[in-house]
């Protein structure tokens, strides 16, 4: 089965950098996803990592280490609008976008 662990809450300052960690256990690895969800809104896809290393996409980067069962999402130059829940997810058996999600990390960006 799959198990995902991520911190419940984090607080950071506008303009700073924050790293949101995710550890996972899966019976077979088929990639790791990060989604962003603002309160009351739909989750939006941020990134997908299937190989080890860092993938950069603008202010957001995602890192994966398959041997350690570990990923992180790095947010640079934080803005107030980045206050949201960040969801780590891995595919269930059957793959694709059939996912099991962590409970999410609620990020609060303060002035």
Partner 1 sequence: GAGVSQSPSNKVTEKGKDVELRCDPISGHTALYWYRQSLGQGLEFLIYFQGNSAPDKSGLPSDRFSAERTGGSVSTLTIQRTQQEDSAVYLCASSFPGAPGAFFGQGTRLTVV
Note the residues at the interface with partner 1 (CB under 8 A).
4, 31, 33, 41-45, 48, 87, 89, 92-94, 96-104
Neighbours of 19 (CB within 10 A): 12
Of residues 14 and 38, the one with the C-beta less far from partner 1: 38
Q: Minimal distance in Å, beta carbon 102 to partner 1?
A: 6
Residue among 86, 73, 78 at smallest CA distance from 109: 78
Cβ closest to partner 1, residue 84 vs residue 99? 99
Rounded Cα–Cα distance for residues 91 and 79 (Å): 30
- Judged by beta carbon, residue 78 or residue 105, the one nearer partner 1 is 105
User: CB of 15: closest distance to partner 1 in angstroms?
Assistant: 28
Q: How far apart are CA 88 and CA 35, in angstroms?
A: 7
């Amino acid at each position: 089965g799959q198990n995902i662990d991520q911190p419940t809450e984090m607080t950071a300052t506008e303009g700073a950098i924050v790293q949101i960690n995710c550890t996972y256990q899966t019976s077979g690895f088929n990639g790791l996803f990060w989604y962003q969800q603002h309160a009351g809104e739909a989750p939006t896809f941020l990134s997908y990592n299937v190989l080890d290393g860092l993938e950069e996409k603008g202010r957001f980067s995602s890192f994966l280490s398959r041997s350690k069962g570990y990923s992180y999402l790095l947010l640079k130059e934080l803005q107030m609008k980045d206050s949201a829940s960040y969801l780590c997810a891995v595919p269930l058996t059957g793959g694709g976008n059939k996912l099991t999600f962590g409970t999410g990390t609620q990020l609060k960006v303060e002035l």
